[in-house]
Structure formats: structure tokens, C-alpha cells
Amino acid sequence: MIALFYAIVFIISVLCTTCYIFVWHKHFNINFTVIFTLIPIACFGYYLSSCATHLGEMVIALQITYLGGCFLPLFILLSILNLCQIEVRRWMRTALFILCALIYGTILTIGYSDLFYRSVTFDIQNGSVIMVKEYGPMHSAFYVLILLLFLTGLSAIFYSLLRKKQVPRTVLQLLILPEAVCVICFFLGRRIFPLVDFVPVGYVLAQLIYLLIAYRVNLYDISDTVIDSMVRDQRIGYLSFDFKYRYLGSDANALRLLPELSNKAVDSTLGYKASERRIRHYLESFQRDERNGTHLFTARGETPEEDSYYNVNVSYLYDDTRRRGYIVTFTDDTPNRRYIRLLDTYNERLQAEVEEKTHHIVEMHDNLIMSLAMMVESRDNSTGGHIKRTSEGVRILIDEILKEGKLSLSQEFCADVIKAAPMHDLGKIAVDDAVLRKPGRFTDEEFERMKQHAAEGARVIHEILLHTDDESFKQVAENVAHYHHERWNGSGYPERLAGEQIPIEARIMAIADVYDALVSKRVYKEAFDFTKADSIIMEGMGTQFDPGLQSAYEKARPRLERYYSEL
């Protein structure tokens, strides 16, 4: 009859654990999982003890039951402290676990030493098999540990009820029940019913209460519920990368926007394909300056009316309190932008006026940028007209590149490069006059200060074009300013990029920039003739310049010489 009782309790405990597995959520506290694992094991031990036919079987069953007796109070306490938002240091958790393990270790010596039981005998009373035990010193230590863990948990609950307003009252009230039930069954059950141990009943009641707590507790964890809600929101997409730009993962919404990443292997570094290059630009901008974490992404539809617009935000990826990389968030802003577009097109006359004014603003914007570039140039001791000459040089080079057809550059991209060329030296606005206007060659220290203009130029352009809808031009302009002093062999500045790591727009700009510097007069040199300038450029192909642009340069050279001759 007793065996049947324990069997029923064991089956109920297994059913409770099955229910827990069914409702399990990734944000459940690990202590809950351990509790629901240990209780069926302990209950099974009680069932085995009721079926034992000799002392050896009884001892093994007893050792299985004590798995719950030794470790369940610890994990119940840890779950209480977690729910009460009381931090427990790692060394304290570890010390308590070791203490419980040491006591359980003495339980495993039953029959071999008198640490836990001084003596153990096997007897049959009223048809029931019982174990007659004489307790040893570690059994007393076991009782002290149980009481200590129980009182600590009870104190934490009452402390939280009185002082911690952010801990849910319902959960605190429920937490008192498993504590009280387990202790009552442990200390009083045998005294009321000597032949039946009601501890497994207390375990099962605790399971039922913890199922209620587990079902309820996640609603109070605002960080987890918000994360889950945002991940399910189809208007938001996420990409994550480590600090070395290695791809860590993405959600379905992000893959829908950037389908090329579906073939991207996790832990592989971002390459220089169109979509990966754009993401790399987002990350590099944020790495240079955390204020550069906002961008606009346009998902092209079959018609402009079907275009979708997303606000892009780059921030740090955290693992607990540690920064582990970057997270890129895409937030759908299409309804707002389409609503604005609807307002803009509501009245045809108003639309025409808006377009006219917009065109005028764009012209003013471009003139402002050109004026700013010319103002920066006026501070330099270089011969005037550098930005206009280099812009024309870029135009000529791109014209020859398009004629060759070796590089698949779009007309829009080429127009952006030509338009961005005058902005390549904007960063010199941050260079001191004492350095910028020095009538001679720079010292090493002065040259290091001068080199800062590349990164500073990218930052200035990012701020100027922050709210532009033309994201592609913004990216090209930043790259031209930032990387036009990089070298093909990796010896340039400021990032020491090499080869195709250097954006193509910066590689084109580099040739036009150096060519103008060679054939123009500077305070520290006379202008070189075209032959000498050409030999220097050709010597630099494959070291300073992209060798893939050599043939385009050679075809552009007569036009460059004609242009500079006519100045």
C-alpha cells in the first residue's frame, strides 16, 4: 500500500515536470529547471525505498532521496533570491553548492562510515520494511543546513514584501508556500505518520506552486517581454556583428531586406559586395564616432511608389554588461514617408512649387558645399583651384572607366563620385593654420596632424548630410574624404586599408588628387611636366594606386594633359 502511495506521488511529480517542459520558456530561471528535475528523482527514490527487499537496496534508495533533501533547499533559496531581485555573488553560490555536495558525499558513505549514520539496520514492522538508523554528526549538520537555507529564504521573502516595491506581491506570497510546505512535511510528517514519509508530497505541492510562479513571473520581466515583442514585430529587423565585423546572425525581417545575407556564413567577415559594403559603412561610421549611428535605408520596389524606407540605427551589442559587438536595427518608416509623399502630391500646383523649391534648395546645398570646400582651400598654401581641377580629373577618369566597361559602375554612382570629389579635403577645416599654411615641408609631427583631415572630413560630411534622403551619395562622399589617401599596398592612411578594401570611389579620387599635385605648383616645389608626372603615376600602379585603373588612366592622360594645358 505504501509502495502504491509513493508510486502515485512519483507519477504526479513526473506529470508536473512534463507540464513545466511544455510551458518552458528560454527566459525561465535555471533554478526552476533544476528544481523540476530533482523532484521526480527524489520521489523515485522514495518509491524504491518502499520496494526494497534488503538493506543494500534500501541504502541506494535512501541516497537517491537525499539528492532532493540536500540540493532542493539550495535551489529553492536561489530561485527565491532571484525572484526577489537580490544579487548573490558567484563565490557565495559556489560555496553553498560545495557545502551541500560535501554533506551529500557523507550520505554516499552510509554503510562504510559513521559520518552520517552511525549504524543502519533493516527491519519489518507491521508488514512494512523500515530502516532503523542511528544518526551521526553530519546528519545534525544536514538539519542545520536545511534550517539555515529555509530561514534565509523566508527572510528574503519578508524583506522584499516590506522594502522592495518592484518585486511582484503575488509571486512573493506564492513563494512562502513551497518553503513552508516542504519544511512542515520534512520535520513533522514522520512524527504524525511514522510509517509514511510525506516529504515527496511536499515536493509535489511545491511543483504545483512553482508552475503557477513560472507561468506568471515572465510577465514581470520587462526586458524579456519587450525583447520578445520587438522581435515578433515585422516592422523591425536586426543584424548583429562582433568587433571584427564578423556576421553573428539576423532575424527574418532583416534577411527580407537584405536577401544576400541568406548565403552569408555565420562568423564570416563582411565582404565588399553591395549590401555588405553598405553595412560595413554603417559600422565604420559608428566606430569612428558613436554619434554617426543613424542612417536611412531604401528598399527599392518595382516602382518608386512601392519603395520602402527604413531608419537604420547602429548600437553596441551587449552580453550582460560587456560590449561584444554591434547590432544594426532596421525600423520601418514607410508609412510616415508615404504619408508625407501623399501630402506633397495632394495638390499639383503645390507639388510643382515644392519641386522647384527643392531643386533650388539642392542647388543651394551643392553651392554651400562647394563654397565650404573653396573656403577650406583658401586656407591652404596650395595653388588655388585644386578642388575644381581634381573634380574635372575625376570626371575624365570616370568617363574612360565607363567607356572601357571593365567595372560595373552605375550612372548614379559615377554622378555621385563626381559630385563628391570637391568635398575630399573638407577635413582640412579642422587643421590648425600653423600647419596648413606652413611655407615648406611638414615635420613628422605636423604631418601626423595633417593626416587627421581624412577621418575628420568623413565626420564633417556625415554631419552635413545626416538628414539627406540620398543615402548613396552620403556614403560615397564620406568614403572619398575618408580613404582618398589610402594606398593599394596598405601603406596609406588613416586606416591602412589595402587592395579592394579601399572603396573604388576613393581609388579613383586618389589618382586625380595626386596627378593634380604633381602638375601644379606648390610652395615646396615647382610644377612637374606631364611626362614626369605620368612616370610617377605609372610607377605607383600596384603600390600606391589600383592597377585595375591603369588602362583607364592611360586612355584619360591625353584629355588630362589637354585640360591642364588650357588652364
Q: Please indicate, yes or no, whether residues 303 and 417 belong to a single structural domain of this protein.
A: no
Q: Please indicate, yes or no, whether residues 335 and 359 belong to a single structural domain of this protein.
A: no
What would the pLDDT profile of 166-202 be if each residue is shown by its tens digit?
777 777 777 777 767 766 766 665 555 555 677 888 8
Residue 58 CB partners (closer than 8 Å, separation 6+):
49, 52, 122, 129, 131
Q: Please indicate, yes or no, whether residues 466 and 340 belong to a single structural domain of this protein.
A: no
What's the helix, strand, coil split of the chain in %, to 5? 65, 10, 25
Select from 173, 208, 225 the last residue of a domain.
225
Could you give the CA distance from residue 164 to residue 362 in angstroms, rounded to a whole number? 58
Q: Please indicate, yes or no, whether residues 374 and 269 belong to a single structural domain of this protein.
A: no
Q: Please indicate, yes or no, whether residues 57 and 147 belong to a single structural domain of this protein.
A: yes
> What are the helix and strand counts (H, E) for the chain?
21, 7
Can you give the three-state secondary structure of 460-471, one letter per residue? HHHHHCCCCCCH
Least Cα distance to 334 among 357, 316, 311, 365 occurs for: 311
Q: What is the per-residue pLDDT for 368? A: 64
Could you give the CA distance from residue 133 to residue 112 in angstroms, rounded to a whole number? 14
Domain with residue 483: its CATH number is 1.10.3210.10
Select from 320, 345, 370 the last residue of a domain.
345
Q: What is the per-residue pLDDT for 114? A: 86
- Domain count along the chain: 3
Could you give the CA distance from residue 403 to residue 399 in angstroms, rounded to a whole number? 6
Q: What is the per-residue pLDDT for 486? A: 94
Element (H, E) at 326: strand 322-332
Q: What is the DSSP code string of 368-409?
A: HHHHHHHHHHHHSSSPTTHHHHHHHHHHHHHHHHHHH--S--
Q: What is the per-residue pLDDT for 398? A: 93
Given a cut of 50, the residues of the chain with pLDDT beneath it are 220, 222-227, 383
Q: Please, are residues 111 and 59 in contact by the beta-carbon 8 Å criterion?
A: yes
Select from 294, 310, 345 the last residue of a domain.
345
> What 3-state class would DSSP assign to 167?
coil
Instruction: Find the domain containing 184 and state its range.
Output: 2-225
Q: What is the per-residue pLDDT for 546? A: 93
Q: How many CB atoms lie within 10 A of CB 15?
A: 13
Provide the b/e sequence for 218-237 (b: ≥16 CB within 10 Å): beeeeebeeeeeeeeeeebb
Q: Please indicate, yes or no, whether residues 12 and 51 belong to a single structural domain of this protein.
A: yes
Cα distances (angstroms) measured from residue 247 to each of 241, 269, 270, 276, 289: 5, 6, 7, 10, 21
Q: Please indicate, yes or no, whether residues 75 and 193 belong to a single structural domain of this protein.
A: yes
What would the pLDDT profile of 457-513 be if each residue is shown by its tens digit?
888 888 888 777 778 888 999 999 999 999 999 999 999 999 999 999 999 999 999
Q: Please indicate, yes or no, whether residues 106 and 143 belong to a single structural domain of this protein.
A: yes
Q: What is the per-residue pLDDT for 272? A: 72
Q: Please indicate, yes or no, whether residues 520 and 426 belong to a single structural domain of this protein.
A: yes
Q: Please indicate, yes or no, whether residues 277 and 388 belong to a single structural domain of this protein.
A: no
Q: Please indicate, yes or no, whether residues 202 and 275 belong to a single structural domain of this protein.
A: no
Q: Residue 322, exposed/middle/buried by CB under 10 A (0-12, 13-18, 19+)? A: exposed
Domain with residue 312: its CATH number is 3.30.450.20
Q: Please indicate, yes or no, whether residues 217 and 361 belong to a single structural domain of this protein.
A: no
